[in-house]
Chains A and B, each alone.
Chain A
């Protein structure tokens, strides 16, 4: 099997990842499977920022995002042999692993969030949440980014992940469909509902679009 032809076909089918990135990732994965530690190091460096951003946007917490990012890479490292390039690019596969871990994490911490949401219902605490973000986080995010982050955490996990992948990670619909493993119609519907809901939440927070 000629790798170039194969990856070319894959890009045509998937239609979202650049040729170079796909090919480089595929070669690195092959080297990793042959026991090349430097290839794994390169893969980690290439994808850490993207995975960390997805985790941070989903959880809204830097420490949790770091822990989850480590979990994602640990799981990817252990299950690298099960990755089938025919099913999509490595980045999409990693996004799918990330998404599954985030949903697991969401379910595990649901009880804590129920308590939080009861507290959020109180207006005083509502103000505290938006104003109480640590100064270093405000610096990290910027004003708009910080407001969006606050609003994102109020979305349901299905709508939140759809908006994060589409509008913050700027993935194509096809990529999101593969990462979430749902039909494209569902992806479209979630993105649409997520955007409308996010705009409504931001409006309630008094944030006007630029």
Chain B
């Protein structure tokens, strides 16, 4: 067989040698020469190459856990149960799994959140903090403080936006989109607040929107939002 006259039969017979890199340079050259000019052979080479690649990518199947024990029981016979302290602590081996660690971290995080919500100080823990009455009072206090802070924060935001809108009016530099909005709805006055000079509709709507969202947030997660507000405002909770 000379390198230049390989046929389709040669290609099919040496296909795996080609894929597995077992052809000599001359044979590889002859293989390529034919495969590059024959549509059927080039398709076959591509198809088998992809198949081999796919087969190599398939991972091994996990062994059923009972199989090893079944084999050991069949060959060595049933093994004697561990005695003494090894038997007592045998169950601890199951705790050293990734799944258990995940559950443990989840439970710890949940407990931490609950402790923070109930106002128990982790730095200076006191037995009295665990009394039901104290826990209730702490949670109630946290909720009220969170609500108060949120209301204050919203109020501050409204003032800031109103001042900003007045400054914009005074400078007489209205932006084009803002000036178009009131004209399209002259009968309505979405920017008015308490009879003072109205802010621009977009600014007022943003202020109202943020206020509403914060109120909802404060209602749903009083503790988190209370702390957040406290940090944002940089003030101590009274």
Residue contact A48 to B63, C-beta cutoff 8 Å: yes
Residue contact B48 to A188, C-beta cutoff 8 Å: no
With a cutoff of 8 Å between Cβ atoms, the chain B residues found around residue A188 in the complex are 16-17, 22
Contact with B along A165-183 (1 / 0, CB 8 A): 0011010010000000000
Residue contact A140 to B76, C-beta cutoff 8 Å: no
Residue contact A209 to B62, C-beta cutoff 8 Å: no
With a cutoff of 8 Å between Cβ atoms, the chain B residues found around residue A62 in the complex are 64
Residue contact B71 to A44, C-beta cutoff 8 Å: yes
With A56-B61, A70-B70, A199-B51 given, name 11 new contacts (CB 8 A): A40-B75, A50-B60, A52-B64, A53-B61, A66-B64, A70-B67, A70-B74, A73-B75, A163-B55, A170-B56, A210-B50
Q: A69-B71, A73-B71, A196-B48 are in contact. Are A167 and B56 (CB under 8 A)?
A: yes
Residue contact A37 to B76, C-beta cutoff 8 Å: yes
Q: How far is the CA of A53 from the CA of B67 in the complex (A)?
A: 12
Give the contacts of B47-61 with A (CB-CB under 8 A). 47-48, 50-61
Give the contacts of B6-33 with A (CB-CB under 8 A). 12-17, 20, 22
Segment at the B interface, from A4-12, A13-21, A81-89, A141-149: A141-149
With a cutoff of 8 Å between Cβ atoms, the chain A residues found around residue B113 in the complex are none
Q: How far is the CA of A37 from the CA of B77 in the complex (A)?
A: 10
Instruction: Tell me, rounded to whole Å, the shortest Cβ–Cβ distance linking B124 to chain A.
Output: 51
Size of the B side of the interface (Cβ < 8 Å), in residues, is 34
Contact with B along A149-193 (1 / 0, CB 8 A): 000000000000001000110100100000000000000100110
Interface residues of A (CB under 8 A from B): 37, 40-41, 44-45, 48-50, 52-53, 56, 62, 66, 69-70, 73-74, 77, 140-142, 144-145, 148, 163, 167-168, 170, 173, 188, 191-192, 195-196, 198-199, 202-203, 209-210
Residue contact A40 to B67, C-beta cutoff 8 Å: no
Residue contact B67 to A66, C-beta cutoff 8 Å: yes
Q: A52-B63, A52-B67, A191-B16 are in contact. Are A209 and B50 (CB under 8 A)?
A: yes
With a cutoff of 8 Å between Cβ atoms, the chain A residues found around residue B105 in the complex are none
- The B contact surface, by secondary structure, is helix
With a cutoff of 8 Å between Cβ atoms, the chain A residues found around residue B74 in the complex are 70, 73-74
Interface residues of B (CB under 8 A from A): 12-17, 20, 22, 44, 47-48, 50-64, 67-68, 70-72, 74-76
Residue contact A144 to B67, C-beta cutoff 8 Å: no
Residue contact A192 to B13, C-beta cutoff 8 Å: yes
With a cutoff of 8 Å between Cβ atoms, the chain A residues found around residue B51 in the complex are 195, 198-199, 202, 209
Q: How far is the CA of A192 from the CA of B17 in the complex (A)?
A: 8
With a cutoff of 8 Å between Cβ atoms, the chain A residues found around residue B63 in the complex are 48-49, 52
With a cutoff of 8 Å between Cβ atoms, the chain B residues found around residue A209 in the complex are 47, 50-51, 53-54
Instruction: Tell me, rounded to whole Å, the shortest Cβ–Cβ distance linking A151 to chain B.
Output: 10
Q: How far is the CA of A209 from the CA of B59 in the complex (A)?
A: 17
Q: How far is the CA of A36 from the CA of B37 in the complex (A)?
A: 62
